[in-house]
Structure 1
Amino acid sequence: MPQTVKGVIARSKDADVEVVDIVVPDPGPGEAVVKVHTCGVCHTDLHYKQGGINDEFPFLLGHEAAGVVEAVGEGVTEVAPGDFVILNWRAVCGQCRACQKGKPWYCFATHNAKQKMTLTDGTELSPALGIGAFIEKTLVAAGQCTKVDPEADAAAVGLLGCGVMAGFGAAVNTGGVGMGDSVAVIGCGGVGNAAIAGAQLAGATTIVAVDIDDEKLDAARRFGATHTVNSGKTDPVEAIKEATGGFGADVVVEAVGRPETYEQAFYARDLAGTVVLVGVPTPDKQVTLPMIEIFGRGGALKSSWYGDCLPSRDFPMLVDLYRQGRFDLDAFVTEKIGLGDIEKAFEKMERGEVLRSVVVL
């Protein structure tokens, strides 16, 4: 029987979010219903609310979630009722050309649940990133569920579902940070600080954090930054070079998504260094660089999709590191809130007052 539960929607562009009744169907073939325990408030949800992703309103917001599988549909073997899972928005197909080449983190045919959750009047909802987890129970593709250690704190490990994984993976998976490397991270929100934590865990010896907010830079030090630069007061390119013996960093992670910060990242890397773009730009943003500089510096200019992660591989590993006290996911949780507090959480996010507000259901 379909269930009616409480969830949070954005009904129209820039309208305040609403807590409403939502109908969740029974899982069909390849689908699962998950009882949501926690869901982080991510900047992507705000983009949806503001119409910055697309105009397929109303949106069921939320995607950075952990919970317990309640029911599964026909043919599901990945998970079973009772499993504690983190939700992901890139369920790999296993069949496309990327998957067949052994690079499933680039899967070109990721999928979501085929059925739609609806309002009580039958209006279909568009779930954020194919998940929609600001809700008591959600319907997803079974491949969007990754089973992890049930003893882990849901509020912390649920953040691997988006921002923390994106930042950690940008440094470790995409950037390939290794022992003794120098790293710079431009933008020290949740994603940037996760990149810093990942670089430290991977063995980087010099980690330069760049932001315009001194409080965020203080937080970056707690995550492992060895140097901090307020780019509103100091030229970040020169400061990064000074911290790396005049050469520039081996890997520079751009976690802002703006042309000016990308240009800083480009010029702040060492010869043959790597730039990783993980900050999400809006469609109107463009960057112009001299081709001779691109040619003459060598190295690599990369973008990072979801930290180039493979959830089935990376989520359990990172949860284990968290449980061992080696990866401090708790430090990303600024506050725990209820479903009715999400609009205020968006306001705090825009003011830069939180790394993550986490909804606890």
Structure 2
Amino acid sequence: MAQQVRGVIAPGKGQPVRIETIVVPDPGPGEAVVKVQACGVCHTDLHYREGGINDDFPFLLGHEAAGVVESVGEGVTEVAPGDFVVLNWRAVCGQCRACTRGRPWYCFNTHNAKQKMTLTDGTELSPALGIGAFADKTLVAAGQCTRVDPAAKPEVAGLLGCGVMAGLGAAINTGNVGRGDSVAVIGCGGVGAAAVLGARLAGAARIIAVDLDDRKLATARELGATHAVNGGDTDVVAAVQELTGGFGADVVIDAVGLPETYRQAFYARDLAGTVVLVGVPTPEMTLELPLLDVFGRGGALKSSWYGDCLPSRDFPMLVDLYLQGRLDLEAFVSETIPLDGVEAAFEKMHHGDVLRSVVVL
């Protein structure tokens, strides 16, 4: 029987979010209903509210979530009621050309629940990244649920559902940072800070944090950065080169996604080094680079989709590292807030006052 629960809705472009009663249907084949325990406030949710993703309003916001599976539909074997799970927005299909070639983290046919959650008047909702977890309960594809150790705090585990995983994965999976490498991370918000943490976890010898905000640089140092560069008063490329013996970093991660930061990343890397773009550009942005420089510098220019993660592989491993005290995920939780605190959290995010506000239900 369908349930009525609270959810945070973005009703129209640029309009303040509000709490509405939403209808969550019983799970159909391949689906699950999850009782949400915590959900991080991610910049992507703000993009949805501002119409920066698409115009399929109204949106049910929230996607960095952890909770407990309440019920499952026909044919579901991955999870069962009572499982503690982290939600992900890339449920792999297992059948596309990426999956069948053994590269499921690139799955080209990821999927979400087929049924729609609605308002009480029947208006269909568009769940953010196919999740919609600023709600007491949400309907997802069962493949979007990844079981992890229930000893982990929900407000910490849920952050692996997007930003933290994107940053960690950009360093470990996409950038393939290794022991002794030098790494520069441009932009030290939530994703960039996680990239710093990932580089430290991978054994990088030198980790250079770059940002315009000294508060974010201080946080990056706490998470493992060995050097900090304020790009507002310093030539970023020259500073990174100076800190790496004049050569540039082995891996440079652009966690901003602007043409100017990408150019900085391109020229701040060593010959044959790697650039990783994990910051998300907007549709109108373009990039111009001398083709001879692209050829002459060699190396690799990569984009990182969700940290090139495979949730079933990466989420349990990272939660285990957290529980062992080897991965400081709690450092990302700036504050916990109630469901009606999302609009205020957006404002704090805009001013750079938090790494993550986390809704606790």
The two structures share one fold, judged by TM-score above 0.5: yes
State how far apart, in whole Å, the 1-side matches of 2:141 and 2:352 are. Answer: 33
Could you tell me which residue of structure 1 aligns to residue 189 of structure 2? 189
Could you tell me which residue of structure 1 aligns to residue 328 of structure 2? 328
Could you tell me which residue of structure 2 aligns to residue 145 of structure 1? 145
**Secondary structure of 1:315's match?**
helix
Could you tell me which residue of structure 1 aligns to residue 160 of structure 2? 160
Could you tell me which residue of structure 1 aligns to residue 283 of structure 2? 283
Deviation per CA, 1:275-294: give whole Å up to 9, x if none: 00000000011110000100
State how far apart, in whole Å, the 2-side matches of 1:9 and 1:223 are. Answer: 34
TM-score by length of 2: 1.00
Could you tell me which residue of structure 2 aligns to residue 94 of structure 1? 94
Could you tell me which residue of structure 2 aligns to residue 108 of structure 1? 108
Deviation per CA, 1:123-160: give whole Å up to 9, x if none: 00000000000000000000000000001011011000
Could you tell me which residue of structure 1 aligns to residue 52 of structure 2? 52
1:257 pairs with 2:257: yes
Could you tell me which residue of structure 2 aligns to residue 75 of structure 1? 75
Could you tell me which residue of structure 2 aligns to residue 132 of structure 1? 132
State how far apart, in whole Å, the 2-side matches of 1:102 and 1:257 are. Answer: 29
Q: Which runs of 4+ in 1 moved over 3 A?
A: none
Deviation per CA, 1:188-216: give whole Å up to 9, x if none: 00000000000001000000000000010
Could you tell me which residue of structure 1 aligns to residue 4 of structure 2? 4
Could you tell me which residue of structure 2 aligns to residue 223 of structure 1? 223
**Secondary structure of 2:327's match?**
coil
Amino acid at match of 2:201: L
Amino acid at match of 1:260: E
**Secondary structure of 2:321's match?**
helix
Deviation at 1:254, TM superposition (A): 0.1
Could you tell me which residue of structure 1 aligns to residue 268 of structure 2? 268
Amino acid at match of 2:251: V
State how far apart, in whole Å, the 2-side matches of 1:235 and 1:70 are. Answer: 53
State how far apart, in whole Å, the 1-side matches of 2:309 and 2:243 are. Answer: 30
**Secondary structure of 2:272's match?**
strand
Amino acid at match of 1:163: G
**Secondary structure of 2:185's match?**
strand
Could you tell me which residue of structure 1 aligns to residue 15 of structure 2? 15
**Secondary structure of 1:302's match?**
strand
Deviation per CA, 1:286-332: give whole Å up to 9, x if none: 11000010000000000000000000000000000000001000000
**Secondary structure of 1:359's match?**
strand
**What is the RMSD computed on CA atoms of the aligned residues?**
0.3
State how far apart, in whole Å, the 2-side matches of 1:150 and 1:219 are. Answer: 28
Amino acid at match of 1:62: G
Sequence identity (%): 77
Paired residues, number: 361
Amino acid at match of 2:266: F
**Secondary structure of 2:250's match?**
strand
- Consecutive unaligned residues in structure 1, runs of 5 or more: none
Amino acid at match of 2:247: F
Deviation at 1:249, TM superposition (A): 0.3
**Secondary structure of 2:94's match?**
coil
Could you tell me which residue of structure 2 aligns to residue 212 of structure 1? 212
